[in-house]
Structure 1
Amino acid sequence: MNKAGEALQVQLGKIRAGVANPSILRDVTVEYYGAQTPLNQIASISVPEARVLLITPFDKTALKNIEQAIFASDLGLTPSSDGSVIRLVIPALTEESRKDLAKEVKAEAEKAKVAVRNVRRDALDHAKKEDLPEDELRKIEKDIQGLTDRGIKNVDQIASDKEKELLTI
């Protein structure tokens, strides 16, 4: 159940909120010497300004490949290169796009809640298969439900925090 919350945080970290966050580049892989390599392994990513990401490759020959990988990703960002570094300017979000992203956050939160409920179902099934006295089984079911409630509350809190971040101008 905790892993569902952690997975939600990773997923929500990829949603850009109009501010520069290196985690939006987490899934970008670059063709580097014939192998697909994560961007963060062949370049340093820093945030020099609130809405700018600065990508400095360790090997300058990889600059073109990094640019192509960013273009090919579904980030919707246009890299600008000066020959040694790449700058990614994160555009400011409009009110409409903020609301769309908030809907996306709710959808991701719902997926995480389903994952928590699936863990509950599996735990209840496992407990019922054990040959336990009925009063002990009820206690276990109550404990599992308590853990489920905490897991869902955690997911709701994570989603609420991200929505506030998105909707704050």
Structure 2
Amino acid sequence: MGINYKFRKAEEIIRESDPDDLKKLRGICQEIQIAEEDLLRASEELMKKCRDGCEGLCCRNIHLDGIITLSDFVYILIVESQIKEKARKCLKKESLFSSDCIFLKNGKGPCLFPVNSRPEKCIVTFCADETPIRKEIRRLASNFDKLSRFILLRKPRVLKKMLLKMIRV
């Protein structure tokens, strides 16, 4: 699909959402952000190992389109709308091949996305035993699933609202 397409589609979804859907979308994204913060607290030791030991190797030589989803962009654009232009500049560097993550500042890091507002795979991927934080990972995944379902069911909701308006006329 390409991350440029996903980014533009996320902008479109947000722009075309009616006030009720936008309110629900913000609520789901807030739940994700809280789950990310809880995961970060619970995984403090693992994150320290990642920073000190791996030094961001998980952000190197990757195929970004397989990591960042449409839901990730909707989430990030809802909770961190101020980084939209910076992200758009990074997207100009999208490659068809494996490369270092285009969202690393100056090509090295740190990540453009704030610590508690990152794509799902970026925050739940550890190079150590995840057993102690499995509950927090499941909660975060569940919230991202809720966001994905909300996005997928957006068109039927719009169609339903349109049909109801036609019936009332």
**TM-score, normalised to structure 2's length?**
0.31
Structure showing greater relative contact order (alpha-carbon pairs closer than 8 Å, 6 or more residues apart): 2
Kindly indicate which of the two structures has a greater share of residues assigned to helix.
2
TM-score where L is the length of structure 1: 0.31
User: In terms of Rg, which structure is larger?
Assistant: 1
